[in-house]
Amino acid sequence: MKYQTLDIQEAHGVAVIWLDRPEVRNAMNEVMVRELTSAFDALETDAAVRAIVLAGRGPVFCAGADLKYMKKMSGASPHENERDAAALAGMFHRLYTLGKPTVARVHGAAYAGGIGLVCSCDIAVAAQDTRFCLSEVRLGLAAASMGLQLLRAIGERQASRYLLSAEELTAAEAYRIGLVQELALLDELDNVVNGLLGHLVRGAPAAQASAKELLRSLGGAPRTAAQVTDAAKRFAALRASEEGREGITAFLEKREPAWVKAGDRKSRGGKASRKG
């Protein structure tokens, strides 16, 4: 199959899915979401593929959702908006439930939905200068489509801080909280990933699929179809909300959203009261 937004290379039992929109920092639009889901389905049934690597062309791994596409969907009909949000949540869920080992090869930056891809993979290896950010609340949104995978990766307590603050994380902090399991110099990133793949392709395929299913069954709240649907509806509602539309528009217009007070616009940080 020929893809518009992906470049897939297969060799030695490994398929590398390259996000291939470097001109927009590999931001995800509806075409990429659809193509990723299709690629996951195809590779799941390809007996020659033992492991899957997700990587990004250009200077960054993935900047999240394409906000021009998000703005378009915020004005869509409720039915179309929910259907599109369901496709995004379904893509993360499909990656998470693949029976084959999956590895995120992360460099440059992973923002918003880019983190969704990272935490939906079994293993994540990042370059030491990578930056991470769950930036949705600054756009009037929330990371609903990938919430289940995020909780699985870093737990509720850490998710609370970074979902609410939208702070930027260094690779070292991402490693500390469990978002990534391995760090490497950028020049050594492929060597580290390849070393890991050497171990993964030596495992028995059916045993690996069973092990993944076991971990999903034991790992906290079950990931049901109803939960995926609920997450999609929440995301769609936020995207169509007044805050969602204002946040996306403000970003595209390179200005602060209306909820940021004038006195706070020169600094990203706030000040805690010293009273009491």
Mean pLDDT, the chain, as a whole number?
88
CB atoms within 10 A of CB 53: 24
Residue 260 lies in a domain: no
Catalytic residue among 10, 35, 136, 168: 136
| 182 exposure class (CB count in 10 Å sphere: 0-12, 13-18, 19+) | middle
Residue 89 lies in a domain: yes
Residue 140 lies in a domain: yes
Return the SS3 of 75. coil
Residue 210 lies in a domain: yes
Residue 253 lies in a domain: no
% of the chain with per-residue pLDDT over 70: 86
Residue 193 lies in a domain: no
In terms of residue numbers, what domain contains 205? 6-188+199-218
Q: What b/e string do you get for 219-244 counting C-beta neighbours within 10 Å, with b at 16 or more?
A: eeeebeeeebeebbbbbbbbbbeebb
Residue 233 lies in a domain: no
pLDDT at 273: 39
Return the SS3 of 27. coil
Higher pLDDT, 65 or 226: 65
CATH of the domain at 28: 3.90.226.10
Residue 239 lies in a domain: no
- Quote the number of domains for the chain: 1
pLDDT (tens digit per residue) in 235-244: 677 667 776 6
Beta bridge partners, 73, equal none
Is 136 catalytic? The answer is yes
Evaluate whether 123 touches 181 at the Cβ level (below 8 Å). Answer: yes
Q: Report how far residue 58's alpha carbon sits from residue 70's, in angstroms, rounded to the nearest whole number.
A: 22
